[in-house]
Amino acid sequence: MPIYNAPVEDMMFLFEKLRNNKKYNEIDKYKEFNPDLVKDILEEAAKVTQNLILPLAKSGDENPAILENGVVRTPPGYKEAYKKFIEDGWVSLSCDPKYGGQGMPKTVSTFFDEMLSAASLSFKLYSELTIGAYNCLLNHASDEIKNLYLPKMVEGKWSGTMCLTEPVCGTDLGLLKTKAQEQSGGTYKISGQKIFITSGDHDLTENIIHLVLARSTDSPKGTKGISLFLVPKFIVNTDGSVGSRNGVSTGSIEDKMGIKGSATCVLNFDEAVGYMIGPKNKGLNSMFTMMNLERIIVGIQGLGISEIAYQNSLSYAKERKQGKSHNSKSNNGADLIIEHADIRRSLLNMKSIIEGERALSFWLSQQIEVSLNHNDEKTKQEASDFVSLITPVVKSMFTDNAMEITSEAMQIHGGYGFTKDQGIEQLYRDNRITPIYEGTNSVQAADLVFRKLITKNGDVIDRYIQLVKDEIDFKEDKAQFYVKELNKNIETLVKFTEWIKDKVKNVPEDASAACNDYLKVLGLVATGHAWIKVLEVCYKEYENNKEFYEEKIQTAKFFFNRVLPKAESHFLTATTGSKYIMDYKFN
């Protein structure tokens, strides 16, 4: 079984030293969450993930969720762990106190999401979709629905799902066939089939609250005719008690490459009672509240899996002896593989990406809170625009990097990494879903280029680039190498942005073929921006914690020398256009 130690020190560094967003600090309700309180929370979270959740990873992989006589049964140990998990209040961490939540800001709950993802992604998914459904209902449901459903969801006794995908449609939801027939009492009868439904059925909670996209029988075709419905597994009585079984059944569960402990279900809706959420025919608008936050969380899943892969690779490299390094001082026997330059390169590549991503996600979590909770509408909108811009970057870049990092981790472990003994190959398999679900990374790249750079609120990408330029302009002499390198890559991003804007208007195929490269360049610059913010603290406070800050500086040095320069390559290859791609004749 892999080892895992939650990186509480690094998380606390970010919370204490990079919580310098003036607009975030103007949100009154979060002022009580001081570093001492947050440290206590993270240390308890570390104990839970390391001691309770981590052992479930192997259990879930070796004994997957199964469908037995119409009932989905979770792997051994899940029910007991989940009971303890909700009793200790971990589902409610970021939820509104009005419904029984603890009201933690995203700047804290995101750290916990990372820990859970590292310990056992399969187990995490049972509560993760509940929070997604909670957020959707909180923003779009009537007070009657919220008061009836949210307290039990926040408590963790009821769970939630999002039901979008069908056999005939994935990303192209305009093709969906699930129907909603309105009834005399204002409810609807929902009929259709949904596939790939994470946590679609299980034995952990008393009820499961499905959020289902469907088309009312009198609605137009395409995405403009889609509405959102709440469809409980069991009908909920007016007093909040669980009543009779609704017309929802599990047809099958998928036999998957990874996250085997998570039940991925085919759900059949046979005239199931549903309640419309939000305006009719505006279901996608409501569901995107859930989906956009989920896309960020999927990125955090990649970060968490990257962290545990790195920790185990570092530990193994310090123990495994193989060959002689070129600087060997040993007169007999082999050297530890951590003495070999290429192994050190791999480890530093992992570390520099992980710590940069964590800093970037912390910056994004502050922007999310500003977009949701600031008193000034203009400030909220600006933060919301930045969140929309960076969301596809975090989802795609973090998960793609996690594939690279888990692959490198297997390589460092050699033959042992390919066997099940070390648990490294499971990390690779479990992470493989993250670039796929919640919209594939190619879809994320297209969304960024064709929908997020310029919106009804103006030129978001230019405003973001200006923000980055303004925030990296600090004068510490020792930091000028990093500032210079980032500025050089910002100019690459500026040139790429001008090119992509022109192609979106005039040669869309060129823009489409360049989407993934553009996302990667923006992601590298965004991570470089996060690293500069870290370095600014390191140089200003160096004498207060020399060992910690020196390690940060050396890690940043690798990122700016070895990782950030990849932006230029992406720019050069992408701007060769698409004609030679589209003209190719496949046999």
Distant-in-sequence, close-in-space partners of 209: CB < 8 Å, separation ≥ 6: 133, 149, 153, 158, 159, 160, 161, 230, 231, 232, 233
3-class SS at 273? Answer: strand
List beta partners, residue 371.
Answer: none
Q: Based on the residue annotation, tell me whether 355 is a catalytic residue of this protein.
A: no
CA distance 107 to 121: 20
The answer to whether residues 46 and 6 touch, using CB atoms and an 8 Å cutoff, is yes
- DSSP 8-state assignment for residue 233: S
CA distance 210 to 263: 14
Distant-in-sequence, close-in-space partners of 526: CB < 8 Å, separation ≥ 6: 360, 390, 393, 468
Dig out the tokens for 587 from the structure: 């046999």
Q: Which H or E run includes 134? A: helix 121-140
Count the alpha carbons within 13 Å of 190 in the hemisphere toward its beta carbon: 32
The answer to whether residues 531 and 482 touch, using CB atoms and an 8 Å cutoff, is yes
CA distance 299 to 393: 9
Active-site residue, from 32, 438, 498, 568: 438
3-class SS at 545? Answer: coil
Q: Which conformational region is residue 259 in: left (phi greater than 0), alpha (psi within -120 to 50 degrees), or beta?
A: left
CA distance 485 to 100: 48
- Closest CA relative to residue 127, chosen from 84, 72, 64, 171: 84
Distant-in-sequence, close-in-space partners of 92: CB < 8 Å, separation ≥ 6: 100, 101, 102, 154, 155, 156
Dig out the tokens for 163 from the structure: 């039901």
CA distance 434 to 431: 5
Dig out the tokens for 571 from the structure: 């720019």
- DSSP 8-state assignment for residue 477: G
Catalytic residue numbers? 438
